[in-house]
């Protein structure tokens, strides 16, 4: 089913707060095999100029992809989830995510089109602190392959 | 760092096993069974269990942050997921090789790094680019 272009620009209510903990950051860093101390040792992170341990650059996905699922739950979005694959991903970091951050995700549909029978939907997730400080913009292009 | 367009990053090769995928699933919260269950993977037409695209993206990002030594300097990072990385159920797993080079020198001392990411001789990510801010 083709995606409705009218969806472009649609924004969803902000997510619940995601509290970033040191243990979660260390776990993620270990899972990607990255031994850098700035992900797990607060003193090392401070020596590198950060207030606390920071997140690896792709950690934002652990917050943003779930937030982006709000789009697939929208009854106006005719995207067959069983056929959805991740087509593209982009992160713009306004500053590194760090332990202690209380992040709120706001999802917006940036693009919706149908190309060669495949539905392409681009969801932009703006991660800010509870106080509204921009932290990361994570943009995911999802592809629902045609039947 | 003395940089010019064409400066090459050290090539990195990462081994990916099933155990790594299970671990990544837990850390990232992405439990899609195509990343750990052969029955599910083959039922949707894949040759077998494949790595999370985001895991491959993370490995390629390591090649950049290990090079700069400052993970906080990676200010923009984007990829297109091309071919999946098929991870066999054995001790060898799959290999992901990341080759990077400086693609452009941008304003404010920022540097664009272009990445070529392959597995089993095939390109698995395309348009993979990172922008690194000066220290």
Q: Residue B11: exposed, middle, or buried by beta-carbon count in 10 A (0-12, 13-18, 19+)?
A: exposed
Does B61 score more than 60 pLDDT?
A: yes
Q: Helices B18-28 and A22-31, interaxial angle, to 10°?
A: 160
For B72, the closest of A24, A54, A58 (CB atoms) is A54
Question: pTM to 2 decimals?
Answer: 0.96
Mean pLDDT of A37-62: 97
Mean pLDDT of B35-53: 95
pLDDT at position A2, please?
A: 67
Sheet holding B111-119, edge to edge: A18-19, A102-115, A118-129, A134-144, A84-93, B74-81, B122-132, B111-119, B94-105, B12-16
Q: Please give the pLDDT value at position A80.
A: 79
Count of H-run helices and E-run strands, chain B: 3, 5
What pLDDT band is residue B83 in, cutting at 50, 70 and 90? very high
* Interface ipTM: 0.96
How high is the mean pLDDT of chain A? 94
Task: Give the residue with greater pLDDT, A1 vs A30.
Answer: A30
Please name the residues between 43 and 62 in chain B that touch chain A, using a CB distance below 8 Å.
53-55, 57-59, 61-62
Q: Find the CB nearest A90 among B20, B66, B78.
A: B78
Q: Provide the 8-state DSSP code for A80.
A: -
Please give the Cα distance from A58 to B78 (Å, whole number): 10
In this model, does residue A75 exceed pLDDT 60? yes
- pLDDT band (50, 70, 90) for residue B40: very high
């Amino acid at each position: 089913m083709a995606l409705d272009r009218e969806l472009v620009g649609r924004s969803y209510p902000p997510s619940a707060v995601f509290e970033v903990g040191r243990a979660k950051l260390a776990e993620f860093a270990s899972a990607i095999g990255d031994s850098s101390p700035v992900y797990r040792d607060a003193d090392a992170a401070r020596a590198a100029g950060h207030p606390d341990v920071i997140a690896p650059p792709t950690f934002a996905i652990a917050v943003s992809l779930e937030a982006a699922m709000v789009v697939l739950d929208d009854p106006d979005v005719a995207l067959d989830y069983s056929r959805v694959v991740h087509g593209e991903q982009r992160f713009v970091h306004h500053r590194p995510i760090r332990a202690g951050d209380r992040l709120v995700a706001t999802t917006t549909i940036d693009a919706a089109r149908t190309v060669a029978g495949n539905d392409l939907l681009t969801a932009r997730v703006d991660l800010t602190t509870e106080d509204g400080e921009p932290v990361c913009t994570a943009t995911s292009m999802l592809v629902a392959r045609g039947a | 760092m003395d940089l010019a367009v064409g400066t090459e990053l050290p090539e990195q090769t990462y081994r990916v096993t099933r155990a790594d995928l299970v671990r990544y699933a837990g850390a990232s919260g992405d439990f899609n069974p195509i990343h750990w269950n052969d029955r599910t993977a083959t039922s949707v037409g894949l040759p077998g269990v494949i790595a999370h695209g985001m895991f491959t993206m993370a490995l390629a990002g390591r090649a950049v942050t290990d090079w700069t030594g400052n993970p906080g300097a990676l200010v923009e990072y984007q990829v297109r997921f091309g071919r999946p990385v098929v991870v066999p159920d054995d001790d060898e797993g799959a290999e992901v090789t990341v080759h990077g080079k400086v693609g452009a020198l941008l304003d404010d001392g920022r540097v664009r790094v272009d990445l070529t990411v392959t597995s089993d001789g095939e390109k698995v990510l395309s348009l993979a680019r990172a922008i690194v801010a000066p220290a």
